[in-house]
Amino acid sequence: MSLVLHVDAGPWRAHQDLVVSGHQGIVPVAKGNGYGFGLGRLAAEATRMGLDLMAVGTAEEVPALRAAVAGQPGFQGDVVVLTPWRPDDPVADQVLHDPQVITTLSRVADVAAVARAHPGARVILEVLTSMSRYGMRPDEFAEAVAAAGPLEIVGWTIHLPMIGEHLGEATDLATAALAAHRAPLWVSHLSAGDLDRFRRTFDVPVRPRIGTELWLGAHGAMRYLASVQDVHEVTAGQQVGYWQRRAGRRHHHLAVVSGGTANGVAMQAPTAAATLRQVVQTLANGAMEAGRLALSPYSAGGHKLLFAEPPHMQASLLWVPSSVHVGDELEVTMRATTATPDQVILD
């Protein structure tokens, strides 16, 4: 028994099909933990939809798309590596030999180095946006194109922030890029309306890269369930767990449930604290933890349960009401980008 991601396959796939049909030239993004589904599963879905191209985060992730999963062949199409190439990375160098891999380049010096070592490689050139992450400035575009010489430039890439209005910025950058070299425009995080306007502005193909909306947009189609492995009756003051904490007066039942740090249980990212509600929530959680009480992501009967101690590698100890029994399945709230379920089951 384990921590299982149950996927309601019908609605999940119907949503994917809808997103794909609504975005001409879509580049499905599969990286990291595969948004909770695993990279192989996402590759199988892209294959199911007949897509000819996917994006991964790193060169290390390319083989995971190629591997067969659940009896289905791996992804056969082109794979774009989103993290820009850097010198002295043997894995990134290795995939440059693969004619079905497209490498991202974000510095003029790297364009020149790849052109020397791997003439004929397929690349996209990254443009620096207000993200201030990777990319070249407009005054470097012509130099980058000249340095690319023997490389096949399959596009320019523009990666925008999640919030704010960025159509103007994207349009300016694309205009400068196309003046240096005509190639398709690969964009991330333009809203649907902006994407429409962007497409109408330029007469080269536009390829929107989408992960979250594609894989996680079918709200309600995904459920994480953990099984209750054991329940122990405890007396007030009894010490339990690795940390031998004492049971509180209202804690009569200790449950051992599947799921722990290895699965990403209770993994939190620092919040952007964008709303007052998030700030208050962060403060409340901090206060609870200072009192050695921590709300777990497991729930029973619609109520979140308390951790008896921090989660273990593959199990967690929880205080539960008497209604919880061995064999029960508890709902777990997981963050999709840090969840590594033991199994993914398509129902």
Ligand X SMILES: *Cc1c(COP(=O)(O)O)cnc(C)c1O
Q: How far is the CB of 6 from ligand X (least distance, A)?
A: 22
How far apart are the C-alpha atoms of 222 and 16, rounded to whole Å? Answer: 13
Tokens describing residue 145: 């194109």
Which residues contribute to the site for ligand X (CB under 6 A)? 29, 31, 82, 159, 188, 209-213
Closer residue to ligand X, CB minimum distance, 35 or 224: 35
Q: How far is the CB of 134 from ligand X (least distance, A)?
A: 9
Q: How far is the CB of 184 from ligand X (least distance, A)?
A: 15
Closer residue to ligand X, CB minimum distance, 93 or 213: 213
Q: How far is the CB of 249 from ligand X (least distance, A)?
A: 45
Residue nearest to ligand X (CB): 211
How far apart are the C-alpha atoms of 308 and 256, rounded to whole Å? Answer: 10
Closer residue to ligand X, CB minimum distance, 229 or 338: 338
Q: How far is the CB of 251 from ligand X (least distance, A)?
A: 40
Tokens describing residue 107: 């510095």
Is residue 335 within 8 A of residue 35, CB to CB? The reply is: no
Q: How far is the CB of 118 from ligand X (least distance, A)?
A: 22
Q: How far is the CB of 208 from ligand X (least distance, A)?
A: 9
Q: How far is the CB of 214 from ligand X (least distance, A)?
A: 7
Residue where the block lists tokens 């369930």: 225
Closer residue to ligand X, CB minimum distance, 192 or 288: 192
Closer residue to ligand X, CB minimum distance, 82 or 170: 82
**The 3-state secondary structure of the chain, one letter per residue:** CCCEEEECHHHHHHHHHHHHHHCCCCEEECCCCHHHCCHHHHHHHHHHCCCCEEEECCHHHHHHHHCCECCECCCCCEEEECCCCCCCCHHHHHHHCCCCEEEEECCHHHHHHHHHHCCCCEEEEEECCCCCCCCECHHHHHHHHHHHCCCEEEEEEEECCCCCCCHHHHHHHHHHHHHHCCCCEEEECCCHHHHHHHHHHCCCCEEEEECHHHHHCCCCCEEEEEEEEEEEECCCCCEECCCCEECCCCCCEEEEEECCHHHCCCCCCCCCCCCHHHHHHHHHHHHHHHCCCEEEEEEECCEEEEECCCCCCCEEEEECCCCCCCCCEEEECCCCCCCCCCEEEEC
Closer residue to ligand X, CB minimum distance, 192 or 279: 192
Closer residue to ligand X, CB minimum distance, 157 or 296: 157
Q: How far is the CB of 60 from ligand X (least distance, A)?
A: 15
Closer residue to ligand X, CB minimum distance, 82 or 332: 82
Closer residue to ligand X, CB minimum distance, 189 or 251: 189
